Amino acid sequence: MTGTGPPPPQWIMRPDSLLASVLRRLKHSFALERVRVVFVDWRIRRKMERTFARADPFDYSRSAFDQDRHAAILGVLGPPPLGRVLEVGCAEGTFTVELARHCAEVVAIDISATAVARARERLKAGGIDNVTLVVANIRSWRPVRLFEFDVVVLADVFPYLGHRTAPAEFAALVKRVTTWLRPGGRVVITSWFASDEERRAREAHAACFLRQGLRLEREEIRGAGLDRPGLRYLFTVLRVHG
Ligand SMILES: C[S@@+](CC[C@H](N)C(=O)[O-])C[C@H]1O[C@@H](n2cnc3c(N)ncnc32)[C@H](O)[C@@H]1O
């Protein structure tokens, strides 16, 4: 007999399309993102602790590429003294020292306890006492008060936050960061990239801030021809209305 009868009712799903639909829902479920984020952060923390087992693993004290990034950030902050700055992903505090000389107060956080311990030594050796160092994951950290920072610096940290694997979590983080800034405050981002695909992924970070109503003040590609072959970085400055 050939199948010439009426088609099955719409609500009867074939098992394979039912499975596909369940998988699709799971893929976009916030609960599953949470699980992915916990895993991503566990991996990053472990990787960072291994990375910081030796001092200056990113070669920040010598790299022209990274010095260019840091100079670009200081360049847009304007002349000192600046007010309160939050530095996310401060690593061993190489840039924190420079920020501290520009600002009245810096809160610097990093997920790696080893990195923060080294940053603490560096600040002490430099006689710097206007920095609060915190071992924390930016996803769960909360400031004491909202709307208190003049600038949030996110230098080469967003690429670790799994914007693609957990877009809703990333968007929620961006929304929170926005509430930490005082009216007129700025977000300054640097993010390295090696390909057009990575560049587009970095541009998407800024787009999340635009959706929160921030204004794009500057977006530049920098770092070509310096000492990180094949790498460049996206430099972005956004401002909260106010
Ligand atoms: C490539 S380093 C950048 C250091 C510094 N911002 C700079 O540009 O010179 C990235 C830092 O971000 C930190 N990091 C990664 N994920 C983080 C997270 N979820 N919360 C806080 N820090 C994080 C790492 O431990 C690492 O020290």
Q: Which pLDDT does position 2 carry in this prediction?
A: 45
Bridge pairing between strands 181-193 and 149-155: parallel
CA distances from 150 to 6, 68, 136, 140 (A): 67, 22, 20, 21
Helix (H, G, I), strand (E, B) or coil at 157: coil
Residue 6: pLDDT above 70? no
Q: Kindly give the distance from the C-alpha atom of residue 89 to the centroid of ligand 1, in angstroms, as a whole number.
A: 3
Q: Per mean pLDDT, which range of 26-35, 76-85, 117-126, 206-215 is the poorest?
A: 26-35
Taking the CA of residue 89 as reference, the ligand 1 atom at the shortest distance is 12
What is the distance between the alpha carbons of residues 7 and 177, in angstroms, rounded to a whole number?
52
* Residue nearest ligand 1's atom 14 by CA: 89
Q: Which pLDDT does position 21 carry in this prediction?
A: 76
Pair of tokens at residue 227: 């000492």
Residue 1: pLDDT above 50? no
Q: Which pLDDT does position 207 carry in this prediction?
A: 95
Give the CATH architecture of domain 64-239. Answer: 3-Layer(aba) Sandwich (3.40)
* Residue nearest ligand 1's atom 8 by CA: 155
* Residue nearest ligand 1's atom 24 by CA: 89
Residues 6+ apart with CB under 8 A from 94: 56, 60, 61, 66, 70, 122
pLDDT tens digits, one per residue of 25-54: 666 677 888 888 899 899 999 999 999 999
Ligand 1 mutation pick, 157, 233, 235, max ligand atoms within 8 A of CB:
157
Mean pLDDT over residues 85-106, rounded? 97
Q: Kindly give the distance from the C-alpha atom of residue 238 to the centroid of ligand 1, in angstroms, as a whole number.
A: 20
pLDDT tens digits, one per residue of 108-152: 999 999 999 999 999 999 999 999 999 999 999 999 999 899 999
Q: Kindly give the distance from the C-alpha atom of residue 127 to the centroid of ligand 1, in angstroms, as a whole number.
A: 23
Pair of tokens at residue 198: 């990575």
What is the distance between the alpha carbons of residues 40 and 44, in angstroms, rounded to a whole number?
6
Taking the CA of residue 60 as reference, the ligand 1 atom at the shortest distance is 9
Domain boundaries, the chain: 64-239
* Residue nearest ligand 1's atom 3 by CA: 156
* Residue nearest ligand 1's atom 16 by CA: 160
pTM: 0.88
Taking the CA of residue 45 as reference, the ligand 1 atom at the shortest distance is 25
Residue 8: pLDDT above 90? no
